[in-house]
Amino acid sequence: MIALTRPVPASIAHCELTHLSREPIDLPRAREQHAAYERALAEAGATIEQLPAEDAMADSVFVEDAAIVVDELAIITRPGAASRRGETASVAAALKKHRPLAFIEAPATIDGGDVLRVGRDVYVGLSTRTNESAVEQLGRLLTPHGYRVHGVPVDGALHLKSAVTEAGDGVVVVNPEWIDASRFARSIAVDPSEPYGANVLRIGDVLFAAAAFPRTNARLREAGFHVRELDAGELAKAEGALTCCSVLVLPFRA
């Protein structure tokens, strides 16, 4: 598995914020946490492919939002925040070595953080960043490959994957306040005191989870997942979580 990443930009203090108030971000500490994230993914078996830094683009570390990668193709997004549209060109250049490319076109807008694949089901969050036109375009691109594409209203969270991610084997971890958990056959709810605890990242046998959510992480351990906690507190102030900092490219399985 390849994980595309990008360094934390010098301009991160000017990032987009939707649900959080601006707090000072400690840049050296954010960079240390990001480097630890890259090392941890590498230890779990990912090959890190680091994109060139984009220091003038404040949210450029959150590479997940620029692309949606499945076995058959990579879809380059049209991010919902106009300030982020320049981030996609370098992600497209990196992904064209690994997959045929397709592109989301106006009037659609979509952030990769709104797209969750669980088996052949692709859930697309209808958020402030992602619209119905993007759901239609994704449907046209993915249905021929055997995926089912579903639009899912997101209420209260920035992205769908702030509210739900896959822990593994079809089991999702979900904040039921932000999306309808009954859409998923098997789910584990976050601890109610940890609304941001649903963003986890599975690499091989390891389930990465933010250290800030110990109660939710205990629930995941009780369910049998091998949880490894990462300190992601600085980028959390930029409204980014663990999945946001990588684009995973799995080995192609025909």
| Minimum CB–partner distance for residue 12 and ligand CIR (Å) | 9
CB 184 within 8 A of CB 148: no
Measured from the CB atom, the residue of 18 and 223 that comes closer to ligand CIR is 18
Comparison of 85 and 228: residue with beta carbon closer to ligand CIR = 85
Contact range with ligand CIR by CB under 6 A, out of 40-48, 68-76, 168-176, 238-246: 238-246
2: tokens are 């390849």
With CB under 6 A, what is the number of residues at the site for ligand CIR?
17
Tell me how crowded residue 125 is: count the other CB atoms within 10 A of its CB: 29
| Cβ closest to ligand CIR, residue 81 vs residue 223 | 81
Quote the least distance from Cβ 24 to ligand CIR, whole Å. 15
Least CB distance from residue 146 to ligand CIR, whole Å? Answer: 25
Q: Hey, what are 193's tokens?
A: 């005191």
- The residue among 27 and 223 lying less far from ligand CIR, judged by its C-beta, is 27
**Is 244 a residue of the active site?**
yes
| Binding status of residue 159 toward ligand CIR by CB under 6 A | yes
Q: How many helices (H) and strands (E) does the chain have?
A: 6, 15
SS3 of residue 119 by DSSP:
coil
What distance in Å separates the CA atoms of residue 130 and residue 108, rounded to the nearest whole number?
A: 8
The residue from 54, 59, 166, 234 that contacts ligand CIR (CB under 6 A) is 59
Which 88-117 positions form the footprint of ligand CIR (CB under 6 A)?
Answer: 113
- Given a contact cutoff of 8 angstroms between Cβ atoms, the answer to whether 47 and 2 are in contact is yes
Pick from 30, 54, 64, 184 the residue near ligand CIR by CB under 6 A. 64
Alpha carbons 138 and 109: distance in angstroms, whole number: 11
241 binds ligand CIR (CB under 6 A): yes
Q: Which of 246, 244, 241 is nearest to 197 (CA)?
A: 241
**Binding test (CB under 6 A) with ligand CIR, winner from 54, 239, 242, 249:** 239
Binding-site member from 3, 15, 41, 154 for ligand CIR (CB under 6 A)? 15
Instruction: Work out whether 244 is an interface residue with ligand CIR (CB under 6 A).
Output: yes
Between 78 and 159, name the residue whose CB sits nearer to ligand CIR: 159
Tell me the C-alpha distance between 22 and 57, whole Å: 17
* Burial class of residue 133 in the structure, from the number of CB atoms within 10 Å of its CB (0-12 exposed, 13-18 middle, 19+ buried): middle
Q: Is 218 helix (H, G, I), strand (E, B) or coil?
A: helix
Are the C-beta atoms of 136 and 151 separated by less than 8 Å? no
240 interacts with ligand CIR by CB under 6 A: yes
CB count within 10 Å of CB 14 equals 16
Distance CA 76, CA 182 (A): 30
159 given a catalytic annotation = yes
* Residues involved in catalysis: 159, 244
Q: Please report, as ranges, the residues that interact with ligand CIR according to CB under 6 A.
A: 15-16, 18, 59, 62, 64-65, 81, 84, 113, 158-159, 238-241, 244
